[in-house]
Structure 1
Amino acid sequence: MMQKLQRFGGAMFTPVLLFAFAGIILSLSIMFQNEMLVGGIAAEGTIWKNFWAVVESGGWTVFNQIELLFVIGLPMGLAQKANARAALESFVVYTTFNNFLSKILQLMGPTFNVDFTQEVGGNSGLKMIAGTKTLDTNLIGAILIAAIVVWIHNRYFEKKLPDWIGIFQGSSLVVIIGFFLMLPIAFLTAWIWPIIQSGIGSAQGFMASSGTFGVWLYVFLERILIPTGLHHFIYQPFIFGPAVVEGGLTAAWLETLNTFAQSTQPLKELFPAGGFALHNVSKLFAPLGIAAAFYTTASPEKRKKTLALLIPTALTAILSGITEPFEFTFLFIAPQLFLVHSLLAASLGATVYAFGVVGDIGGGLITNLSQFVIPMSINHMGSVLTLFAV
């Protein structure tokens, strides 16, 4: 079971990796449009401004299509055969599900206590996905549908049909089964999901309204659940979903980066929900300590080999924020240390938040320089220094 959960977590990580590059592109393009940083060259209407505005628009691609990324990405990591076919099947079945759900709510919205006449976004619980107005099942819906398609694919993709209907085997058979299965699932979703939305909102609301303790609990759960892969359900609704900010904390931070950089108002007042973007702040500092622990506890005769492994791993972790190689290594060697690691990470995030530091911090040194340190050093140098001091 643990192996399956870890494989699931690895598959979840595949689309997440795309956000690192997109985040860097967005932060750089937004930073280069800031007149306070680059001067009059970034004035409205200049070639420089227009160029980086175009680059920025491309950077938003993955953030605007999050559900589709996971619907396509998960089968690529979980399908036991013909992964590319599984990704295509997942996309078709997921969009079919949303079309079913859209029509059900359009015809019977009041039956399910859903006002389908509302505009998407906000508190409506509705969203445009692949051009279809539907119920906002967010990443959870995308992940569940993708998982169902993977199960169908692994079970029926290679099933042989009689020659006279042989055209319907393979991907066609998977999509056909998925088509008919999505109909009752769409009805169940229309009935159950509004209730789940309320429950998720209450749990997230508890953390969001609990101040420093809420941030501590959020970071602790995100860290301690990493071995199971379930940590994605903790942080993704906050970071990429509407748990505390419409569109997710990452998108909200990038959209208002220039505004925050130019304001002299405390960051915690400008972006109070930003404490829930601190779950990765330990990634800036923990890799050095973990690497040092590995090196000092290694046998003297094996330290050179250990160092050869640690240097690229540590650099990757520090520069890009990818710390899983470290974390999974000491998870299996000394599980109790992973609990300590989770407690320390939660305490660090909560302490930083208590001292007034908020923002999308922790995706690696490169991301942090462009998304926090450089832009915030203009009017929020105190927050930058506090982050490193704590």
Structure 2
Amino acid sequence: MMQKIQKFGGAMFTPVLLFAFAGIVVGIGTLFTTQAIFGELASPESLWFKCWNVVLQGGWTVFRQLPLLFVVALPIGLAKKQNARCCMEALVLYLTFNYFVSIMLSQWGADLGIDLTSQAEGGSHLTQIAGIETLDMGMFGALGISALVIFLHNRFYEKELPEWLGIFSGSTFVFMIGFFAMLPVAVLAILIWPQVQLLMSALQQFVLGAGTLGVGLFVFLEKLLIPFGLHHLLYSSFYFDNVVINGGIYSYWATQLPQLAASTEALKELAPWASYTATGFSKIFGCPGIALAFYFTAKPQNRKRLLALLIPITLTAVLCGVTEPIEFTFLFIAPVLFIVHAVLSALLAMVINLLGITGIFSGGLIEMASFNWIPLMGSHWQQYLLLFAVGLAFTGIWFVVFRFIILKLNLKTPGRQDEENVKFYSKSDYRASKSDEETLIVQKVLEALGGKENIIDVTNCATRLRVNIKDPKVVLDDQAFKALGTHGCITSGRSVQVIIGLSVAKFREQFENLL
């Protein structure tokens, strides 16, 4: 079960990788079309506004089509064969499902208290999917249908039919079975989902009612789930679905940027629902403090070399929001530091929330700038300056606390090991080794996992190669994987996650070629 959950979490992360660029486009487009900042130049009648509005509307594509995006993305990570064909099957059957729901509601919706003629917006429980007015099931509906199609695909795609029925084999056979399966699923959806929507509304009020304490608890749990690769499951429904706000925090924030830019009120007053994206503050403020603590507690003879290694992994965390390279350097060596890291992350999020600052703050500096500072700096610069002041103060707290614990407990963090044979690798080291012996490194990782015969299947998320194995006893330990040039590995039962970095997609392709 844990293996399946981890694979699901990795698949969920695939479309999230598109958000950084889409967010930059939305941020810049919103900035240049905000009349409160550019005055008459940005009036809706001006050529300036109309040209930038074209760019802005294109940037919103990802956020307005999230259900379709997740429907197509899930098979990439979960289909066991012919992933691309499964993506097509999932898309077609999801559209078929919504057409079924739409026609059923148009004929019997009045008996269920659902008026299909009402405008598809928050209070109507309706939405539009690819031009189809249907029940608003958000990401849950999209993932549910996609998961069902993946199940059908994995089971029936290679079903052998008589030769005279060969034209109906493969994707066509999956579509045929899925077509009839969507009929009862659509009936169940229109009977059950309206009640679920009422429960979700109650959940939203409960979450919002927890206030600042709820924000801290959310950030703490998200951090603790990172070693298990389950953190995506915690935040995805908050960020991309209707648990907190209709359409998800990311999507709704993008649509509200013009109103936010036009007001100087505290951001928490304008968008209290955005409080739960505060997981990124530890990335841009906490990781530099951790790196400083590692440097100043390292042996003097190791500091120069350690600095060359700390700089790229810290910049990766700060700029891109990818913290695994630095966090996994101490997670296994000193897990107490990771717990302290989670506590400090929660405290920082709570302090910033108490100061009335909310926004899209789950990624690194690039994402934060595109969603917040670029479009909103003109009207909320005082709050952002306060945010940086508090954040930098917490950088100092991270440094002092980590330094104290490392020295007090004599923890063997990077640069303090008695033997320096095991190290984490910089980006330049990794690229140099790839240019000469790229295939050899992948081969060694495969051997460290027990060889081909020990591999069940393989997927990846943003930074990790996720492998299900037959016998965990033959898999080498974390330090052995680090010695190969990776950032280490996590073994949980028959599930192994090898920390590769942002080049994991290419690494997986070569790994699968060897299989």
TM-score surpassing 0.5? yes
Asked if the contact 2:101–2:190 (Cα under 8 Å) also holds between the matched residues in 1, the reply is: yes
Q: Distance in 2 between matches of 1:247 and 1:184?
A: 26
User: In the alignment, is residue 108 of structure 1 matched against residue 108 of structure 2?
Assistant: yes
Asked if the contact 2:22–2:59 (Cα under 8 Å) also holds between the matched residues in 1, the reply is: yes
Q: Aligned AA for 1:199?
A: L
Q: What does residue range 65-214 of structure 1 map to in structure 2 within 5 Å?
A: 65-109=65-109, 112-214=112-214
Give the stretch that moved more between structures: 328-337 or 308-317: 328-337
Cα deviation per residue 1:55-78 (whole Å; 9 max; x = unaligned)? 001001011110000000110122
Determine the structure 1 residue equivalent to 2:14.
Answer: 14
User: In the alignment, is residue 276 of structure 1 matched against residue 263 of structure 2?
Assistant: no
Q: Distance in 1 between matches of 2:10 and 2:211?
A: 31
Asked if the contact 1:96–1:182 (Cα under 8 Å) also holds between the matched residues in 2, the reply is: yes
Larger Rg: 2
Determine the structure 2 residue equivalent to 1:267.
Answer: 267
RMSD of aligned Cα (Å): 3.0
Q: Distance in 2 between matches of 1:346 and 1:359?
A: 16
Q: Aligned AA for 1:369?
A: A
Give the stretch that moved more between structures: 164-173 or 5-14: 5-14
Q: Distance in 2 between matches of 1:141 and 1:385?
A: 40
Change over 3 Å in CA distance of 1:146–1:236 after alignment to 2: same
Q: Distance in 2 between matches of 1:202 and 1:31?
A: 35
Structure having the higher helix fraction is: 1
Q: Aligned AA for 1:282?
A: S
Determine the structure 1 residue equivalent to 2:488.
Answer: none
Cα deviation per residue 1:30-77 (whole Å; 9 max; x = unaligned)? 112235545654444443322211100100101111000000011012
Equivalent position SS for 1:159: coil
Determine the structure 1 residue equivalent to 2:510.
Answer: none
User: In the alignment, is residue 349 of structure 1 matched against residue 337 of structure 2?
Assistant: no
Change over 3 Å in CA distance of 1:199–1:225 after alignment to 2: farther
Determine the structure 2 residue equivalent to 1:364.
Answer: 364
Cα deviation per residue 1:191-219 (whole Å; 9 max; x = unaligned)? 22222222222222201122212322333
1:292, distance to aligned residue in structure 2 (A)? 4.9
Equivalent position SS for 1:360: coil
Change over 3 Å in CA distance of 1:34–1:198 after alignment to 2: closer
Structure 1 gap ranges (5+): none
Asked if the contact 2:30–2:56 (Cα under 8 Å) also holds between the matched residues in 1, the reply is: yes
Cα deviation per residue 1:151-209 (whole Å; 9 max; x = unaligned)? 22122212221101111111111111211222222222222222222222222220112
Asked if the contact 1:207–1:217 (Cα under 8 Å) also holds between the matched residues in 2, the reply is: no
Q: Distance in 1 between matches of 2:305 and 2:152?
A: 44
1:231, distance to aligned residue in structure 2 (A)? 4.3
Equivalent position SS for 1:118: coil
Under a length normalisation based on structure 2, what TM-score does the superposition of the two structures give?
A: 0.68
Asked if the contact 2:27–2:370 (Cα under 8 Å) also holds between the matched residues in 1, the reply is: yes
Cα deviation per residue 1:12-33 (whole Å; 9 max; x = unaligned)? 1110111111011100111122
Q: Aligned AA for 1:136?
A: D
1:10, distance to aligned residue in structure 2 (A)? 1.5
Q: Distance in 1 between matches of 2:285 and 2:369?
A: 14
Cα deviation per residue 1:296-340 (whole Å; 9 max; x = unaligned)? 788999877876665444323221223345556655666555544
Give the stretch that moved more between structures: 106-115 or 264-273: 106-115
Structure 2 gap ranges (5+): 391-515
Q: Distance in 2 between matches of 1:200 and 1:155?
A: 33
Under a length normalisation based on structure 1, what TM-score does the superposition of the two structures give?
A: 0.87
Change over 3 Å in CA distance of 1:87–1:212 after alignment to 2: same
Q: Aligned AA for 1:17?
A: L
Asked if the contact 1:278–1:361 (Cα under 8 Å) also holds between the matched residues in 2, the reply is: yes
Equivalent position SS for 1:380: helix
Change over 3 Å in CA distance of 1:339–1:110 after alignment to 2: farther
1:384, distance to aligned residue in structure 2 (A)? 0.9
Task: Give the share of equivalent positions with the same residue, in percent.
Answer: 50
Q: Aligned AA for 2:138?
A: N
Determine the structure 2 residue equivalent to 1:318.
Answer: 318
Q: Aligned AA for 2:6?
A: Q
Equivalent position SS for 1:106: helix
Q: Distance in 1 between matches of 2:43 and 2:333?
A: 55
1:367, distance to aligned residue in structure 2 (A)? 2.7
Equivalent position SS for 1:127: strand
Q: Aligned AA for 2:321?
A: G
Cα deviation per residue 1:102-135 (whole Å; 9 max; x = unaligned)? 2233333355554444321122211111221211
Asked if the contact 1:262–1:378 (Cα under 8 Å) also holds between the matched residues in 2, the reply is: no
Q: Distance in 2 between matches of 1:77 and 1:178?
A: 20
Cα deviation per residue 1:199-248 (whole Å; 9 max; x = unaligned)? 22222220112221232233334444445665445434443333343333
Give the stretch that moved more between structures: 18-27 or 102-111: 102-111
Change over 3 Å in CA distance of 1:184–1:335 after alignment to 2: farther
Asked if the contact 2:23–2:59 (Cα under 8 Å) also holds between the matched residues in 1, the reply is: yes
